[in-house]
Structure 1
Amino acid sequence: MSKYMLIMRGTDESNAAIMANFEELAPRTFSFIEELVKAGVFLAAEGLDTADNSVVVDFSGEAPVVTDGPYGETKELFGGYFLLDVASKEEAVEWARRVPAVRGSKIEVRRVAGDDEKPLGGDV
């Protein structure tokens, strides 16, 4: 089994659509999580606060600079995630296809590196 993160990425428009349809989407999302639990693949899921409530710590210069968020471009923002323990990337993708999402949303499927792997695929 491998861990995969389904990273929820939205735009200003899709995030507004989520809020406008929250009463319908919330029960569908909870049902989806129940399916994940019953299948034995659910590890975690969290949503994030809005980007305008974030703080950015920028390490581009000599000393870290802290500014109020959001960071960079706001065309697509990380809004939350599901963490699954599945047999393959293909299985993770199949679960991602079933996430209750609104038009304009995207889900990035990314494997979580194991403890014995080098972070970011490079040397430590």
Structure 2
Amino acid sequence: MRLMVLVKATAESEAGIMPSRELLEAMGKFNQDLLAAAILLAGDGLHPSSRGKRIAFDGQERTVMDGPFSRTKELVAGYWIWQVKDMVEAVEWVKRCPNPMPGPSEIEIRPLYELSDFALT
């Protein structure tokens, strides 16, 4: 099962506060463990939403909005793409992850659609 592991943004990450050397080292070790277990397919951190754009679609209309975007808890600060046997394994790996932020934070796990999920007849 492939899934996306989303590191949710915090006020600190949206302010562009970079992680400490200790956190970078801990996350680097965690990523190496994921690679060694053949789980990690991709992953990166994201710049704050102030450097981003959103494009809203309404029929043929397109509206471009500049960041920053509100509701920090709904924003993503980074992600991984993992290949695991099931959601239970993914949860166990996330529980081993260092806290990705200096304070309270959340990580969300979402399965990716596979071609077999679509009933194409």
Instruction: Assess same fold via TM > 0.5.
Output: yes
Q: Distance in 2 between matches of 1:54 and 1:18?
A: 13
Which residue among 60, 63, 67 is the counterpart of 2:61? Answer: 63
Q: Distance in 1 between matches of 2:2 and 2:11?
A: 29
Q: Is the 8 A contact 2:50 2:69 kept in 1?
A: no
1:117 pairs with 2:98: no
Q: Per the alignment, in what secondary structure is the counterpart of residue 33 of structure 1?
A: helix
Residue in structure 1 matched with residue 73 of structure 2 by the alignment: 75
Q: Distance in 1 between matches of 2:93 and 2:16?
A: 20
Q: Distance in 1 between matches of 2:53 and 2:62?
A: 12
Q: With structure 2 as the length reference, what TM-score do the two structures score?
A: 0.83
Is there any run of 5+ residues in structure 1 with no aligned partner, and where?
A: none
| TM-superposed deviation, 1:16 | 7.0
Letter in structure 2 aligned against 1:73: R
Residue in structure 2 matched with residue 44 of structure 1 by the alignment: 42
Mean CA deviation greater in 57-66 or 84-93: 57-66
Q: Is the 8 A contact 2:16 2:47 kept in 1?
A: no
Q: What are the equivalent positions in structure 2 for 1:1-124 lying under 5 Å apart?
A: 2-13=1-12, 15=13, 19=17, 21-60=19-58, 63-101=61-99, 102=101, 103-118=103-118
Q: Per the alignment, in what secondary structure is the counterpart of residue 105 of structure 1?
A: coil
Q: Distance in 2 between matches of 1:69 and 1:18?
A: 13
Q: Per the alignment, in what secondary structure is the counterpart of residue 116 of structure 2?
A: coil
Q: Distance in 2 between matches of 1:31 and 1:4?
A: 21
Please give the root-mean-square deviation of Cα atoms over the aligned residues, in Å: 2.5
| TM-superposed deviation, 1:21 | 4.3
| TM-superposed deviation, 1:74 | 2.6
Cα 1:6–1:18 change in 2 (3 A) is: farther
Q: How many residues align?
A: 118
Q: Is the 8 A contact 1:32 1:100 kept in 2?
A: yes
Q: Per the alignment, in what secondary structure is the counterpart of residue 116 of structure 1?
A: helix
Q: With structure 1 as the length reference, what TM-score do the two structures score?
A: 0.81
